[in-house]
Amino acid sequence: MNIAELSVAVSAFAATDIDDFVLLAALFGSGKLKSRSIVIGQLVGIGALVLVSSIAAMAALSIPPGWTNLLGIVPLALGIRGAMSWFRRDQTDIPVDDWAPFNALGRSETVAVAGLTVINGGDNLAVYIPLFSSSAAAIPQYAAVFAAMTILWCWIGRALVTHPGVRSVIERFGHVLVPMVLFGLGLHILSGAFVLLH
């Protein structure tokens, strides 16, 4: 992979995953998920998006605008479900296994994080499919760069929550932050589905 291709790979990842910073900070700061599960979940999710994009590119397919955005209903529903826990009488009595947003996606923390990564990946598909179509031979190199960038993203997200100022805010408002992030993420993703109404 030459410098030009490397630059394209880094730019494609950064442009499609910049919104993951807030989500990663919320996940790391929640205290409900293991850091290892978050990192592996992100890697699995990005890997799934690369696989789907590769298959679509090889088949010369494209996903019509708006359809992948309908997946926004999932984080929206998870955010609402998480917000319902605010009305429980004693927040400190909510055990990790019963944490509402991720319990809805399954008991596996890794699967839950991977699911959110895929759901948030509509813009990834929109960029990766034409990119892979134009340079199919470079797909393995792109995948390697995306994996490295995912680890870097997770490190930055983890570093954000270890900052004393950020950490104190997340510790105080973490149970509110994650459902709000999921709710906002769902609305953001769903907003792209309005093209289906035309």
Radius of gyration of the chain (CA): 17
Per-residue pLDDT of the chain (198 residues; tens, 9 = 90+): 678 778 888 888 887 777 677 778 778 877 777 888 889 999 999 999 999 989 988 876 666 767 767 767 766 777 787 777 666 644 444 344 444 445 544 567 888 888 888 887 777 887 788 788 777 788 899 999 999 999 998 988 888 777 777 666 665 665 666 677 667 767 876 787 777 776
pTM here is: 0.69
Q: CA dihedral in degrees (73, 75, 78, 83; nearest 10)?
A: -110
Alpha-carbon distances of 171 from 28, 124, 174, 177, rounded to whole Å: 11, 31, 5, 10
Residue with token string 């948030």:
120
Retrieve residue 58's tokens. Answer: 């090889």
Distance between first and last Cα of the chain = 41
